[in-house]
Amino acid sequence: MSRLQVVSGKGGTGKTTVAAALALALATEGKRALLVEVEGRQGIAQLFETEALPYEERKIAVAPGGGEVYALAIDAELALLDYLQMFYKLGSAGRALKKLGAIDFATTIAPGVRDVLLTGKACEAVRRKDKRGRFVYDYVVMDAPPTGRITRFLNVNDEVAGLAKVGPIHNQAQAVMRVLKSRETAVHLVTLLEEMPVQETVDGIAELRTARLPVGRVVVNMVRPQVLDATDLERVRETPRTALARSLSGAGLGGARRGGHAERLVDPLLAQAGEYAERYTLEQEQRAVLGEVGLPTHELPLLAEGMDLAGLYELATELRKQGIA
């Protein structure tokens, strides 16, 4: 099991949720996981129903069996100041740099530098050891940028190499790439069973593979329960409306004759079944497309009550059950 688990996915697919559930799942049985956020959205804090996370590793959840989940919202500016402090003992000069806009420049404008700092911090957490020489975190889970940007984000070496050919940022990029391209890392992609997210996932996997970044698994999120299967749907089409009306009436839902309560339910129920059938077909098509990428695929259910902390634990259990953690 790779120690750095990177979770990406198209916007709206729930990659933050999956990353958090994965961290919880990995932390079970006394392990310690660090959940890292790199986009400054405070999605983790919202998910765990806590106040905004500072730039500091802090315990946010206890997993079943005594494991712990820590969280860190990496801020590129503070990471750079940290970094300068560590290597150059800048002190107040750091603040002067900030005032001039140099930090903003280096982290926001200079392409790739921001990404090196963000991935660099995550890699540092992966490698960090305590005094007894044991890893501080068993796993680091990164809630990464979306699929469209993930390869560029992780492939910092290429980004930076053309710009900073020597110097600390260059060295940092090299060190980061050694971790990211090793077996220590796995990049997972979250998708929905819809055409655009699936297409983006397939494209993203191809890009990651071209860049020789280790692709892990595909997680299909928010899968709706299968209420009727293809056979049922076929039979729904063949069953006379009057028979359905009688059946509804038999279940205590009113009269089956024309205009009766049960009879009036038939059309809307059939319309809903029609929509379900159309979606079912589309979902099967998308499953087939995902099947072709040749990666282990997992499905997480759509939670009927919406996403909350309890739901997160439910998804974590599901991930463990499916052997992803």
Partner 1 sequence: MSPEEPARHREGARRLAAAPVLDVDLLLEDPQTRIVVCCGSGGVGKTTTAAALGLRAAERGRKVVVLTIDPARRLAQSMGIDSLDNTPRRVKGVDDAAGGELHAMMLDMKRTFDEIVESHADRERAAAILGNPFYQSLSAGFAGTQEYMAMEKLGQLRAKDEWDLIVVDTPPSRSALDFLDAPKRLGSFLDGKLIRVLLAPAKVGGRAGMKFLNVGMSMMTGVLGKVLGGQFLKDVQTFVAAMDSMFGGFRTRADATYKLLQAPGTAFLVVAAPERDALREAAYFVQRLAAEDMPLAGLVLNRVHGSGADGLSAERALAAAENLEDPRIVDQDGGKAGVRTDPGNSPDTQGSSGTADSAPAEQAPDTSPEASAPKATERPAAETTADSTAAAGTAAPETTERSVDALTAGLLRLHAERMHLLAREQRTRDRFTARHPEVAVTEVAALPGDVHDLAGLRDIGERLATGRPELPGPGA
* Binding to partner 1, residues 44-73 (CB under 8 A): 46
Structure tokens at 111: 């392409």
Given 129, 209, 278, 284, the residue binding partner 1 (CB under 8 A) = 278
Amino acid identity for residue 126 in this structure: V
Please choose, out of 23-31, 65-73, 85-93, 213-221, the segment that lies near partner 1 by the rule CB under 8 A.
85-93
Tell the smallest beta-carbon distance from residue 217 to partner 1 (Å).
20
Per-position b or e across 213-252, b if 16+ CB within 10 A of its CB: bbbbbbbbbbeeeeeeeeeebeebeeeeeeebbeebbeee
From residue 141 to residue 170, the character string flagging contacts with partner 1 as x (rule: CB under 8 A) and all else as - is ----xx-xx--x------x--xxxxxxxxx
CB of 207 or CB of 232, closer to partner 1: 232
Residue 153 Cα distances to 116, 142, 207, angstroms: 8, 12, 12
Q: Is residue 227 a contact residue for partner 1 (CB under 8 A)?
A: yes
Span of 51-59, 122-130, 270-278, 309-317 interacting with partner 1 by CB under 8 A: 270-278
Site size for partner 1 (CB under 8 A) = 98
Residue ranges in 107-126 that form contacts with partner 1 under rule CB under 8 A: 108-114
Q: CA nearest 121: which of 172, 189, 178?
A: 172
**182 near 174, Cβ under 8 Å?**
no
What is the dihedral sign for C-alpha 229, 232, 237, 238? positive
Distance CA 146, CA 15 (A): 8
- Told to check if 91 binds partner 1 by CB under 8 A, we report no
The nearest distance, CB 140 to partner 1, in angstroms, is 20
Q: Output 67 or 145, the one with its CB closest to partner 1.
A: 145
> What whole-number distance in Å separates Cα of residue 290 and Cα of residue 204?
12
- Which residues, 6 or more positions from 11, have their beta carbon under 8 angstroms from its beta carbon? 146
Ranges within 204-223 binding partner 1 (CB under 8 A): none
Give min distance, CB of 132 to partner 1, in A.
33
Q: How far is the CB of 85 from partner 1 (least distance, A)?
A: 12
Does the protein bind partner 1 through residue 252 (CB under 8 A)?
Answer: yes
Cα separation, 15 vs 315, in Å, equals 12
**Please, which residue, 65 or 162, has the CB nearer to partner 1?**
162
* 288: contact with partner 1 by CB under 8 A: no
